Chain A
């Protein structure tokens, strides 16, 4: 049967891993969300100049594994004078990787708003800024919450890869406990449950936000 006492004894490692996973995910997702917005905004503001570079960036994020990106940052960075600690490389890696996906999600949101609405707004003398704040963003928000929630969940799960560049996150510490106790099932299942809880929280949060936005 499952040995719960073993987990209680290893609680220090589990909590440390949880803390590291949490803050790295949180910062990484914040970077991804905001950089994605910048990329989408650039593309929208000046399509002729930025469409192509942003599209390339998005393709790179979609086509290259996060693990390669992390290795490039952590092991390849020093050869161009970019020395990052493993956790910061994790934050930057998750941020850069996620930004490509969020840029595409935001773009989809902007594109889904009929052009006629903006033309109508201009006709009746609403300023472009006001149109953005009052017309575009409220409608877009409703559309982008579900795919953004999905993407955040993917990023939380992919954050387990930072254990490979030696960050003491949940996955790495679970492996440490496995190696110390020779028990495989308990540490990995406990940690799997914690990831599942984090993801469930993100999903519930996204769902609540979606409902709030729909009621407006």
Chain B
């Protein structure tokens, strides 16, 4: 296992970089879209809530591998040529948007209604209330589930190897078929995934400890 790591570390690191770039872009894009979708899910209007709920149901209720294949094969059908890596980022983004929206929706529901009423009384607009009062608290409240979601996306990014994106998993497959040492190679890859995810969990735990102050309390 260590031999594989030592002999092939340049390609493995390159694969790991692609894994990180793809996952983190999807997480970042999903964060923005997820917040918007969460507002949609908590909207006053049924006409807004309903399509948002349907979107959430589909992306949360079907396997991500199936979603990836659907996006990858469907886009060329409707005349959109797209590189595998972009299809991968697109799918992971659309998927994580639904999961992050659900996390934020639950976070929003934990903000005491009195705060929102008070903001309205004080003449603060609905948008300003969201931006200045609700969301800063929601981000703090939802940090643990958000970390889990980042780790899930990092793990799920392994299956974009199926559409020939040369990330960590794909690179490992190539090394395994060249060296005839699948056990050692996949163990090495497992170690790299584990290391990244443990570091992420640590960073999140650190942030959580730092941000305990200033939270909404009932």
**A and B interact:** yes
Is the beta-carbon distance between B64 and A157 smaller than 8 angstroms?
yes
Say whether A15 faces chain B, with CB atoms less than 8 Å apart: no
Is the beta-carbon distance between A160 and B182 smaller than 8 angstroms?
no
Say whether A161 faces chain B, with CB atoms less than 8 Å apart: yes
Is the beta-carbon distance between B64 and A178 smaller than 8 angstroms?
no
Find chain B residues with CB under 8 A from A174 CB.
66, 69
Is the beta-carbon distance between A65 and B183 smaller than 8 angstroms?
no
Question: Within the assembled complex, what's the spacing in Å between the Cα atoms of A71 and B162?
Answer: 13
Say whether B63 faces chain A, with CB atoms less than 8 Å apart: yes
> Chain B nearest CB: distance from A32 CB in Å?
16
Say whether B85 faces chain A, with CB atoms less than 8 Å apart: no
Is the beta-carbon distance between A60 and B186 smaller than 8 angstroms?
no
> Chain B nearest CB: distance from A161 CB in Å?
6
Question: Within the assembled complex, what's the spacing in Å between the Cα atoms of A68 and B185?
Answer: 10
Say whether B74 faces chain A, with CB atoms less than 8 Å apart: yes
**Best-surrounded residue of B66, B173, B184 (most CB of chain A within 10 A):** B66
Say whether A75 faces chain B, with CB atoms less than 8 Å apart: yes
> Chain A nearest CB: distance from B142 CB in Å?
17
> Chain A nearest CB: distance from B137 CB in Å?
25
Is the beta-carbon distance between A75 and B182 smaller than 8 angstroms?
yes
- Secondary structure of the B side of the interface? helix
Is the beta-carbon distance between A79 and B183 smaller than 8 angstroms?
yes
Q: Choose from A64, A76, A159, A175 the contact partner of B193 (Cβ within 8 Å).
A: A64
Known: A63-B193, A67-B158, A164-B159. A76 touches B186 (CB 8 A): yes
Question: Within the assembled complex, what's the spacing in Å between the Cα atoms of A184 and B156?
Answer: 22
Say whether A163 faces chain B, with CB atoms less than 8 Å apart: yes
Is the beta-carbon distance between B63 and A171 smaller than 8 angstroms?
yes
**Best-surrounded residue of B57, B151, B159, B187 (most CB of chain A within 10 A):** B159
Say whether A80 faces chain B, with CB atoms less than 8 Å apart: yes
Q: Which of B19-62 contact A (CB under 8 A)?
A: 57-58, 61-62
Q: Which of B186-218 contact A (CB under 8 A)?
A: 186-187, 189-190, 193-194, 196-198
Q: Choose from A68, A164, A184, A200 the contact partner of B73 (Cβ within 8 Å).
A: A184
Find chain B residues with CB under 8 A from A80 CB.
183
What's the A-B contact tally at a CB cutoff of 8 Å?
116
> Interface size class for chain A?
35 or more
Say whether A50 faces chain B, with CB atoms less than 8 Å apart: no
> Chain A nearest CB: distance from B64 CB in Å?
7
Proximity bits, B118-144, A CB within 8 Å = 1, else 0: 000000000000000000000000000
Q: Which of A126-155 contact B (CB under 8 A)?
A: none
Question: Within the assembled complex, what's the spacing in Å between the Cα atoms of A158 and B65?
Answer: 8
Say whether A106 faces chain B, with CB atoms less than 8 Å apart: no
Question: Within the assembled complex, what's the spacing in Å between the Cα atoms of A76 and B185?
Answer: 9
Known: A59-B198, A161-B159, A184-B70. A68 touches B186 (CB 8 A): yes
Q: Pick 7 A–B contacts, CB within 8 A, sort by A.
A: A65-B155, A67-B159, A72-B186, A159-B63, A185-B74, A192-B58, A199-B61
Shortest Cβ-Cβ A-B pairs, 8 listed: A76-B183, A160-B63, A63-B197, A65-B158, A75-B182, A63-B194, A65-B155, A160-B65
Supply 8 further A-B pairs (C-beta < 8 A) apart from A71-B186, A171-B65: A63-B194, A67-B158, A71-B173, A76-B183, A76-B186, A158-B63, A178-B73, A195-B66
